[in-house]
Amino acid sequence: MHPYPLIRGGGLFLMLVGAGITAGTLWPVARRTLLASSFALAALVTTLFAHRLARPLGHPTPLQLAALAGAVVAEVVLIGTVVHLFRGHGDRTVELAVMFVVGVHFLPMAVAFGPLVGLLSLLSVLNAAGGLWLARGTHLLVFWTADGILKMTIGGMMFFVAPK
C-alpha cells in the first residue's frame, strides 16, 4: 500500500496542464485556449486512467477523497471571487490572482496526493505573489512560464518517481 495511491494520476494531470500552460508561453495569443484545452485533456485522460494508475498503489481513504473534492470546490468558489474582486485591475492582476488561488487550493490536495503537492502549493503561491506584490512591472509571461514549469516538474516527479 502506498500512502498516496492517487499520486500517479495527479502527476499525470499536472504534467498535461503544465504542458498547456508552458505552450501558452510560446503562443501568448492562444494562452487561455491552450490552458483550457490542456485542462480538458488532462481531466479526460486522468479520468480514463486514474483507476489503472492507482490500483497497484491501493485505495484512497475517505479523507483523501474529501480533501480532493473540497479543494476543487474551494478553487471554483475562490476563482469566481477573485475574478469578481479584481476584474477592474487589469488582466495581469486577475490572472495572477487566479494563479494564487490555484496555488492555495493545492495545499489541501497534499492530503490526497502527498507532500510534493504541498511543495507545489508553496512554490505556486510564491510565484503568483511575486507577480502581484513584488515584481509588478514584470511581464505576466514570466510568472506564467514559471507556473507551467512548476506543474510539469512536480507532476513528472509524482508520475515517474511514485512506485508503479
Residues 76-110 have pLDDT tens digits of: 999 999 999 999 999 999 999 999 999 999 999 99
**Higher pLDDT residue, 161 or 72?**
72
CA Rg, the chain, in Å? 16
Q: Is 13 exposed, middle or buried (0-12, 13-18, 19+ CB in 10 A)?
A: buried
- The DSSP line for 55-66 is GGG----HHHHH
- Give the per-residue pLDDT at 127: 98
pLDDT > 70? residue 128: yes
Side-chain-side CA neighbours of 51 within 13 Å: the count stands at: 2
Residues 7-51 have pLDDT tens digits of: 999 999 999 999 999 999 999 999 999 999 999 999 999 999 999
- Give the per-residue pLDDT at 154: 98
- Of the pLDDT bands very low, low, confident and very high (cuts 50, 70, 90), residue 119 is very high
Other CB atoms within 10 Å distance of the CB of residue 59 = 12
* 137 within 8 A of 95, measured Cβ to Cβ: no
Residues 134-153 have pLDDT tens digits of: 888 899 999 999 999 999 99
* 8 within 8 A of 117, measured Cβ to Cβ: no
Helices 91-113, 7-26: crossing angle, 10 deg rounding: 160
- Of the pLDDT bands very low, low, confident and very high (cuts 50, 70, 90), residue 163 is low
pLDDT > 90? residue 162: no
pLDDT > 60? residue 164: no
